[in-house]
Structure 1
Amino acid sequence: MDIKVLKNILKMAQAGSLTCAADDAHLTVQALAAQLKKLEEHCGFRLFLRTNKGIALTADGQELLPFIMNVVKSSDQLQQKIHQLRQREPLPLRFSLNSTFSLDINQNIMRFMMKKLGNYRPVFSTSESPDNVQKMAKGESDIAVVIGNIVPDGFYCIPLKGLSIKVVAATDSSQTGPLTALIKPLPECPYLQSFERFISVSGDKYPGLMTLYSGSEIVSISMLKSFGSIGIVSRAMAEQNNLTVLPHFEDVLNVHLVMKEPLLEESDLEPLYSNVVHLPEIQLTA
């Protein structure tokens, strides 16, 4: 089997669209469809079904997908090892940590990745989820930690099922005077859905407040400290900045590991969970 064809099958499964997968593979839709047909003939069964929303894996395709991922992963590791031996030095791996997490958590992630991906030379950076998503989309990062469900198309994504982050509504009680504004996250921010849930459960509790918009948690905290307002931040950041957490509302967001290539599987991450569950801003999910 051609490894390029298997990679394209993974792109199709990720995108759920023949057109999107063809664009990502720099092929025509007809050429990609021909690859799929040839592979299905080799297998003797259908891998995908066409739906009104695009394409979806058949039951046989879903059962075969993990094996395809393993073959692609092994092929990529083989190529990287060959290149490494040629160069006699590890290949760089650009890893975007998430600045919402504490130094302790990011240090644990760095140690884990350096041990797990020892064939590479990791280059670490840190920024919030929207920036990490942009880095992946622009080809400036190979792996990124992303909070929430805003995951770019065309990448491999592992939900870190052992981890989640607590999100709260907060204000700065040191600000005098009445509340004047609600700080609403922009659509690319992971806290937008939490903000909408907060507004829903609050009902008419905050009438007449103007809406300000924030593109990052750091900006939201600056706004909270500048004037009377309510915003959505992680509980850890609220406590770190001495903000007042409003009662009766708390949300929990998932965390994802987004990769350009499938270098890791979910089972590879089990040791990471055991190293971070004791940290205060992390909640172990059921």
Structure 2
Amino acid sequence: MSQSLLELRHLKTLLALAETGSVSQAAKRVFLTQSALSHQLKALEEHYGLPLFERKTQPLRFTPAGERLLALAREVTARIAAAERDMVRLREGEAGELRIAVECHTCFDWLMPAMDAFRRHWPAVELDIVSGFHADPVGLLLTRRADLAITSEAEPLDGISYQPLFAYEMVVIMANDHPLAGKPVWQAEDFAAETLIQYPVPDAMLDLLRKVLKPAGVNPARRSSELTVAIIQLVASRRGVAALPYWAVQPYLQRGYVSSARIGEAGLQSELYAALRSDDSALGYMQDFLHTVQEQSFATLPGLSVLG
């Protein structure tokens, strides 16, 4: 048997391909150009004499050969991550405290699975969510009432560090029999005569209003609800329209409860960051939690993209 070409970087590339479903997004995940990543994959395929994935599928689909290497990648990277956590525990100890504050209503869809995975890795770290919705979660860091905040903006503040989590697309949802249900892209003016169903938060925290409607001078009627499922029910009942993350509404779209459209030709992109006190940013369990959030989210939520 010839000497193996496989290196850890190849395994990380295969994982990124599986999690993002595209070569362009995978390249961003592993900090390569698309050309460099394609060259890396081609070298692997030539070495084994087998294609690793089908190039004309969207999302990308692995061949049996690709699936075998992907299984190896998952096994090896999981064992490396476990060994690195052990190194951190030996250096820093196993205990700590991680109180999380959030400003987004849909965060719990991905936050809870990440917390469950983290607890298995760090059982001695006290993990908790600061109760209630917080319009200023970063302020809780400064007063030491929280240790990590999930926020949609990275506003520079002394003593606060930000780490990007991921970007995602917001879509408009409407009833299946809405007059514009067949329109693939909505522009700002399409919202003018609608009732916008939203979470009860300030306008500055809603990307649809901040990035699209207000710059266009559009200010639709409003109705609010605390719960995502309640918003979707109101939309399905033709009480209005809503803008929600694609990953949050995808199950309801698949079941045919509501219809969706892109907001603007390029789509409305939103971002999520983790904010933490600068003097805590190097803590091993803190960094492992952020890694777990990204790993779990990219593996389970559709339509995420890398936030640089």
Which structure: greater strand fraction?
1
Q: TM-score, normalised by structure 2?
A: 0.45
Q: TM-score, normalised by structure 1?
A: 0.48
